[in-house]
Amino acid sequence: MASNVFVMGLNDFNLAKLQRIHGAEDINFHGVIDPAAVYDTEEFDIPAMLREAEDRIAGFDGKVDAIIGYMDFPVSTMLPLLSRRFGTRNASLQSLLKCEHKYWSRVTQREVVPDCIPNFTCFDPFDDGALAKLGDAGLYFPFFVKPIKSSGSRLGFRIDSPEDFEHAVGKLRAEIGLISEPFNYVLEQAELPEEIRAVDGGFCMAEEIIGGHQCTVEGYVHEGEVVPYAVVDSVRYPQVLSFFYYLYPSKLPARIQRKMNELTRKVMSHIGYDNAAFNIEFFWDEVQDRIWLLEINTRIAQAHCDLFEKVDGVSHHQVTVDVALGRKPRMVSGEGEYALAADFFHRVFLGDGRVARVPTAEEIAGVEQAMPGTIVRPNVQKGMMLSDLPEQDSYSFAVAQIYMGAKNRSTLLRNYERVLKKLPFEFDEIIP
């Protein structure tokens, strides 16, 4: 009999990837929660979403074999609660929160890999004396701030001066409630140490600046075995924090990748995370030959799905599904059409603006046909304000994602520039 796998926020793009994994012919994929409720908004009513998901799954006339997702907050934090309700496989809520609660995660990481962790502390953005207290904790300019629970680079700021801190705190005070209120509901469902419970979703992290070559180690834990299986490079735009593209396979030295894999196994084993996929973001400081651990995500990186399909022949949705069904993942290597692949973020660096022109479906289809392996996914529609885009970093707006495969990186970058010339976006009412 076919297995029934329920997918939170399932959209057409990812359904197509799922239907091409090994064994998909014996799996029925069922969507749970409208994709727009997790993609196109920044307001999340977690109790209502859980009730909707529970009603949908409980009303299914058949066996529930797995409940999965590939999204960050709020999907990732709801999965353990739903799995506990329906008896499906997933990481425990406590182990997941040891990754997603940024302060608890840093405290836990420091216990096993202290040399890879920057100086850090937490602070209340509504405390007028917060900046002085950061100094008392040994954090001085420059440093980085972000919410205790964040997704992507949302509400993350580099702080070089008191004026920068004042600006960041103003934004955090205005918007952190969108994250803290739903995240606090999840925290209430878990048994937390008192020192962690006191640092709820309304708090922020402040960390020493770290940097270098950034990458992501994709991995999973199956029956207690931690398996890192791939490294993807994360390339930023020059002089800013915004991501330019993800590149797979990684160009980092093999010895650095092996060391990152070793650190990954040590950290995830210590956390007690099991029966789920994850990824860990690292920096390699080439000058000091030092590895920094940036953060842990309790899911596959969905932005990498097309990269794996192009290079290895199958998306790493394979990992999520296999682990959730109790199988050792059947990932392959190098069986795709391309030697390497990238996911480009076409960004505009504006304060705000209205979208005056988006490439037409015919223009996009023409580019995709002329350049095999190219997929163009606009994130905006004509007439919308850029500030209406959800889940953006603090410095730019990603107006499109462009997936491409090639034989080498120079060809990838050259083809990307060709795509931009053929598919112009235009804006008016621009705020610098």
Predicted local confidence at residue 39, as pLDDT: 85
3-state SS, residue 21: coil
Q: How many Cβ atoms sit within 10 Å of the Cβ of residue 347? A: 19
Share of the chain above pLDDT 70, in %: 100
Q: What CATH number has the domain spanning 340-431?
A: 3.90.1170.50
Sorted by where each begins, the domain ranges of the chain are 119-208, 340-431
**pLDDT score of 109 more than 70:** yes
- Checking if the pLDDT of 152 tops 70, the result is no
What band does 394 get if pLDDT is binned at 50, 70 and 90?
confident
Closest CA to 90 of 99, 98, 80: 80
List, in sequence order, every residue forming a beta bridge with 361; answer none if it has no partner: none
3-state secondary structure 345-362: EEEECCCEEEEEECCCHH
Question: What whole-number distance in Å separates Cα of residue 213 and Cα of residue 234?
Answer: 8
Cα distance between residue 51 and residue 391, in whole Å: 24
pLDDT band, residue 42 (cuts 50/70/90): confident
DSSP 44-113: --HHHHHHHHHHHHHT-SS---EEE----TTHHHHHHHHHHHHT-----HHHHHHHHSHHHHHHHHHHH-
Residue 141: burial class (beta carbons within 10 Å; 0-12, 13-18, 19+): middle
Token pair, residue 76, equals: 């990732």
DSSP string for 278-302 = EEEEEEEETTTTEEEEEEEESS--G
| φ, ψ for residue 260, nearest 5 deg | -65, -40
Per-residue pLDDT of 289-305, as tens digits, reads: 999 999 999 999 999 99
Q: Position 325: which residue type?
A: L
Per-residue pLDDT at 84: 96
Q: Is the pTM of this model over 0.85?
A: yes
So what's the pLDDT on residue 240? 85
Mean local confidence (pLDDT), 97-102:
98
What is the enclosing helix (H) or strand (E) of 429?
A: strand 426-431
Domain 119-208 belongs to what architecture? 2-Layer Sandwich (3.30)
Arithmetic mean of pLDDT, 346-369: 97
User: Which is higher by pLDDT, 101 or 395?
Assistant: 101
Residue 124 to residue 200: CA distance in whole angstroms: 10
Token readout for 365 is 């289809």
Phi, psi (5° rounding) for residue 393?
A: -75, 180
With vertex at residue 268, the alpha carbon angle to CA 246 and CA 156, rounded to the nearest 5 degrees, is 50
Closest Cα to residue 139, out of 115, 110, 112, 159?
159
Report the SS3 class of residue 129: coil
Rounded mean pLDDT, 91-111 = 98
Q: What is the mean pLDDT of the chain?
A: 96
Task: Tell me what pLDDT residue 380 has.
Answer: 97
pLDDT mean over 189-214: 97
